[in-house]
Amino acid sequence: MALVLLFLNIILINFINGLPVSDDDIVIIDNIDNSIDDSDVIDLSSLQPNAFGSPDNESGDALAAWTESSLMNAEETGRYAEGDILIPKYARNGVRDQSFRWPKGHIPYVIEGQYSQQQRDTIMKAIADYHRLTCIRFVPYSGQTDYIVIKSANTGCWSSVGRLGGRQEVNLQSPGCLSKKGTVLHELLHAIGFMHEQSRPERDDFVKVKYENIKSGSENNFRKEDTKRSNDFGISYDYNSVMHYSEYAFSKNSKKTIEPMISGVTLGQREGLSRSDVKKINNMYNCKKDEPQTGWVGSIWQSLFGDKSKYN
């Protein structure tokens, strides 16, 4: 009897796990103000001047040599600011040290890259995660002024931060940038408006940067943002963020370049958005999208996800 109950339980849990989260399960209050004001501005000045440049094939070649067994993440191989942040010189935005949020969190997109069906599925799964967990909506491009183009040029994995105005690119070179859904989530999260987690002003309270192990010339990638110019959206430092570097990012000697201050955590996961990533996005976009807490949906949700630090 106990065995039968256990069996039924496993079937039930598998069934629930496989269920997509329907909009009925989540309370959405669409109260986003569409007008541009100061709070819509994303400050890019801390990236100056090395974030402004052109895509380069050397970054593409470095990524082509990268494999999944590497100690560092795919997007940590680029020669751009912090590895994967690039604001192309041809960006139309006249004010270079600012970008903006996307009105209503709607991001028109078009996929121009050459991808296999499986790689395309990886991109669509990442987009589905944003739709399921946040108010961000990637909408197929249909002539909007501001939009993103997902490309597969031989220039590595990179994105700008926030909305620049006009056409802007997110490059996801094949196959390196498509090997993990988290890399796609990561680059899209830059486009949504976020920087790297370890560049938060208070990061030295949470991680130790080991400069002696960093490749010469890559030290700038470990800069911190200015407290006055950054916004944590009320969310504390998150080791599990999909925006955090891996422990070996830009290492010259296969030793760690960044170490958590506490034991038992791993940095640089690229499996899915963390719970704090989700909250931060929804706070930035003034979106009230709550986890279900009550009722049978809420109790199952909390039992499955409530004590875990990430969704997937």
Residues of the binding site:
186, 190, 196
Residue among 84, 225, 247, 291 that touches Zn ion (CB under 5 A): 84
Instruction: Supply the minimum distance, in Å, between the C-beta of residue 198 and Zn ion.
Output: 10
Instruction: Supply the minimum distance, in Å, between the C-beta of residue 93 and Zn ion.
Output: 20
Report strand pairing: 167-172 vs 52-53: unpaired
Q: Of the two residues 77 and 134, which places its CB atom closer to Zn ion in the complex?
A: 77
Instruction: Supply the minimum distance, in Å, between the C-beta of residue 299 and Zn ion.
Output: 36
Asked if 197 interacts with Zn ion (CB under 5 A), we say no
Residues 230-249 that bind Zn ion (CB under 5 A): none
Q: Total residues at the site for Zn ion (CB under 5 A)?
A: 1
Name the one range near Zn ion by CB under 5 A: 76-84, 234-242, 245-253, 285-293: 76-84
Instruction: Supply the minimum distance, in Å, between the C-beta of residue 51 and Zn ion.
Output: 11
- In this structure, what are the phi and psi dihedrals at residue 121, rounded to the nearest 5 degrees? -60, -40
Instruction: Supply the minimum distance, in Å, between the C-beta of residue 190 and Zn ion.
Output: 5
C-alpha to C-alpha distance for 251 and 215, rounded to whole angstroms:
6
CA dihedral 189, 122, 14, 265 (to 10 degrees): -50
Q: Of the two residues 84 and 238, which places its CB atom closer to Zn ion in the complex?
A: 84
C-alpha to C-alpha distance for 262 and 309, rounded to whole angstroms:
16
Q: Is 197 a catalytic residue?
A: no
Q: Of the two residues 126 and 300, which places its CB atom closer to Zn ion in the complex?
A: 126
Which neighbouring-strand residues pair with 81?
A: 85
Name the one range near Zn ion by CB under 5 A: 84-92, 107-115, 121-129, 264-272: 84-92
C-alpha to C-alpha distance for 25 and 143, rounded to whole angstroms:
33
Q: Of the two residues 85 and 135, which places its CB atom closer to Zn ion in the complex?
A: 85
Q: Of the two residues 84 and 291, which places its CB atom closer to Zn ion in the complex?
A: 84
Name the one range near Zn ion by CB under 5 A: 36-44, 78-86, 160-168, 249-257: 78-86
Q: Which residues are annotated as a binding site for Zn(2+)?
A: 186, 190, 196
Q: Of the two residues 84 and 169, which places its CB atom closer to Zn ion in the complex?
A: 84
187, 197, 225, 291: the catalytic one is 187
Name the one range near Zn ion by CB under 5 A: 6-14, 24-32, 63-71, 79-87: 79-87
Which neighbouring-strand residues pair with 109?
A: 140, 148
Find the residue with minimal CB distance to Zn ion.
84
Instruction: Supply the minimum distance, in Å, between the C-beta of residue 150 and Zn ion.
Output: 15
Binding site for Zn ion (CB under 5 A): 84
Q: Which positions are catalytic?
A: 187
